[in-house]
Structure 1
Amino acid sequence: MLGLAIDGITSLSVKPLRFLTGLGVLTSLVSFFFILWTIFRYFFGFTVSGWASTVIIVAFIGGIQLISTGIIGEYIGKIYLETKKRPRYIIDKRTDDSH
C-alpha cells in the first residue's frame, strides 16, 4: 500500500522534484552559514583538529548533491510530461461561429 501511495504522489506532477530542489537550496544556504560559524570557531580555537574541514566539506557537498538531483529530476519530469502527449491547455467551452 505504501508503494501505491508513493506512485500516486509522484506520477502526476513534478512537485516532489521541485521540493527536492528547494530542499537542496535550503541545505546549501544553511551549510554556508554553518561554514561561516565553523571558520569563526576554528580561528578562536574551539574545534578539534580536522573537524572544521570535514564538516564544511560534508555540509556543502550534501547541499550541492540535492540541488543537482532536483535539477536532473526536473528535466526528467518535464520529459515524462511531454511523452504523455497531453495538450498544454484544455478548452472549456466551444463557441459556434456559423452565424
Structure 2
Amino acid sequence: MKFKHYLDNHNRITFYGNTKSSFKQLFQKVFTQSDFGNNMFMIPTRYAIVYLSHIQHNEEMDFFDRSRKSWKFRFFTAKVVKNSSSQRVGINL
C-alpha cells in the first residue's frame, strides 16, 4: 500500500496534486443560488464545532479548493429565531 493511500484511509488526509503539500477535507458543500444571493453559506454546526471552534467571530480565514485557489471567508454564528437553543453557523463570502 502506498503511503498516500495509507494516509487517505487512516488519517483522512487527502492529497491533491503535488504530494509535497497536503490538505484535509473538512466538509463538503454544494452551493445553492441562495448561498450566493445572501453572500454567505451555512455549514453544519457539528463541522464548525470540530474544525472552527478556535476561530473568533468575524475572523478572516483562508480556504483552498481542490485546484489550490485561495478563498477568503469570515466565520460567524447566529442564534436561530425559531429555536433559541440551536445555532446557525455561516461563512461570509
TM-score, normalised to structure 1, is 0.20
- Bigger Cα Rg: 1
Asked which structure has the greater RCO (Cα within 8 Å, sep 6+), the reply is 1
Bigger helix fraction: 1
TM-score, normalised to structure 2, is 0.21
